Amino acid sequence: MFELIIPPAFVMLIGAFLVAVSRPGLRPLIALAAPLVTLYAIWQIPDGIQLTATFLGYEVQVVEGGPERRLFATVFALMGFGGVLFAFRQAKWYELAAAMAYSAGAIGVSFAGDLIVMFLFWELMALFSVIVVWCGGTFGSKRAGIRYIIMHLLGGIILKVGIEGIMIHTGSVEIRPLALDNFDTWMVFIGILVNAAAPPISAWLADAYPESSPTGSVFLSAFTTKTAVLALMLLFPGQPLLIWIGLWMIFYGIIYALLENDIRRILSYSIINQVGFMVVAVGIGTEMALNGAAAHAFSHIFYKALLFMSAGAVIYQTGRHKCSELGGLFRTMPLTTICGTIGALAISAFPLTSGFISKSLTVSAAAGEHMTLVWFLLVAASAGVFLHAGIKFPWYVFFQRDSGLRPKDPPWNMQAAMVLFAVVCIGLGVFPELLYGLLPYPVDYVPYTAEHVITQSQLLLFAGLAFFVMLPLMKRTLTISLDLDWFWRVGWVRLFRGFEALLGGLQRAASALAFGLLRRFSGELMRHHGAEGVLARAWPIGSMLLWVAVLLAVLLLLRYVPEAGSP
């Protein structure tokens, strides 16, 4: 039977376009409806290649269904809805439209049937996400946006070269597992890892996300890195190198988050840390591990968005974004406190939260493969996650000493979005089969065994104990971390300034060289003609004619000089 397949990404893009052009009164309606219609479209797509088109002279596969693709697209669409709900009364219309187009890019990548389509949506994400960063509207966000787009354009170019190489050398751009055995696949690998914020360029994430608006960072937290995880799942499952890259990201995220003072930078480093877990899972590459990566991405997007929403709500209400300036907000922002805490519990994988049922898949997969060291590091990292995101974030923002601030809870739409996501975090934790049913491979894993619950609770308990025992120490590091933080940021600025100066210098040198050469020629000719004015203006003709003669001579000489001419 003929059935019309509508690419879900296009639904979202049309929504973004309508938001951009419609009257202000209609905007919220369209913005809220578009992700839901998209979600419906996502669930209409059966497995397999569904829609092809002709582009660049090739038959490209615009839509290909599959369980992991559907899972990621679903969470992206839900995220789009939650983000819009959180933002629609506060964000500018162009931020909303850009964020929706950005999510359309992520959904498009999810369903991309071949590398060309993937690349197109990849670039779409880069373009619109930088607009979201710029919507921060500050001087800092402008500069951070430029650094961000440079990084992503470079990543995109690397990816593109890799894809073209694969196309020339194998003749196929199907999305299928690739082996890292030649230059082309390495380029694709690196291009994807740029978006996953892998070392050594993890810094772009924590550089750009905190500079966006309080609403923009909610969107930014969800899409770019998770599409990269999906791409890794589809293209490089079981690539052992990914385990070590992922572990590096996990510990990088923890350490920098512990040193950090800006609340959204803490959460940004925490994204890198969480994506590290997923990358490790992809690297392990067993069915269970891939399930773990997918499940973790799914639940991570909700709790991380929830955390960014609570941080955004705090920033929106108080205008402050440093741990050292906040505190004691639980008195007047009870709902934000509760939701933020739920997010913090979920990221730390407390029992009965979504983190508990998803992260353990990865850890168990490492154990199942007898990767003792990896397993040990993952468990240790779980405690670290609790330290930096599970306790540090809510403690410094909502509790600790009283900062004297008395802000109210944020507007109703922000509250609604937070409650919605908090319910999802708890709901998934209580009913894990909801998520497990969506996973690409059958799950025979029971998260709520006595042993698992007890182990995890002990781990968290001791980590929590450690936090409060070391609280004085943490406070001391706070001042140090402020210094470090300052140094780090200034270091970056210096580095970029240096780079810019270098470019500027090169450009000046190049044009000086060009001008110098021309001036030499003109000098010669001027001496002949001896006048300025008309003749000075006419000199280029002379030098041009000289070049003509030179080229003619070269072309003929090359022909007749032995061994220099024909190859």
Which residues lie near another protein (CB under 8 A)? 54-57, 119-120, 123-124, 127, 142, 153, 157, 160-161, 164-165, 167-169, 507, 510-511, 514, 537-538, 540-541, 543-545, 547-548, 551-552, 554-556, 558-559, 564-567
Report the C-alpha gap between 86 and 410 in whole angstroms.
10
Report the C-alpha gap between 111 and 237 in whole angstroms.
17
Report, in Å, the least distance between residue 223 CB and another protein.
17
Report, in Å, the least distance between residue 192 CB and another protein.
17
Report, in Å, the least distance between residue 484 CB and another protein.
31
Report, in Å, the least distance between residue 185 CB and another protein.
14
Contacts of 138 (CB under 8 A, 6+ apart): 211
Report the C-alpha gap between 241 and 223 in whole angstroms.
23
Tokens (6 digits) for 512? 């000086």
Report, in Å, the least distance between residue 540 CB and another protein.
5
Report, in Å, the least distance between residue 183 CB and another protein.
8
Q: Are 345 and 265 in contact (CB under 8 A)?
A: no
Say how far residue 389 (Cα) sits from the centre of its chain: 18
Nearer to another protein, 194 or 314 (CB): 194
Nearer to another protein, 462 or 547 (CB): 547
Q: Are strands 48-55 and 58-65 parallel, antiparallel or unpaired?
A: antiparallel
Report, in Å, the least distance between residue 507 CB and another protein.
6
DSSP string, 385-406: HIIIIIIIHHHHHHSSS--S--
Nearer to another protein, 227 or 358 (CB): 227
- State whether residue 219 is helix, strand or coil: helix
Tokens (6 digits) for 87? 């933002």
Site of tokens 């419609």: 22
Report the C-alpha gap between 16 and 102 in whole angstroms.
9
Report the C-alpha gap between 71 and 49 in whole angstroms.
16
Report the candidate in 269, 272, 270, 266 with the shortest Cα–Cα distance to residue 322.
Answer: 266
Report, in Å, the least distance between residue 123 CB and another protein.
5
- State whether residue 439 is helix, strand or coil: coil
Report, in Å, the least distance between residue 37 CB and another protein.
23
Report the C-alpha gap between 242 and 490 in whole angstroms.
31
Tokens (6 digits) for 500? 């810019």
DSSP 3-state helix, strand, coil percentages of the chain (rounded to 5)?
Answer: 75, 5, 20
Q: Are 393 and 262 in contact (CB under 8 A)?
A: no
Nearer to another protein, 413 or 543 (CB): 543
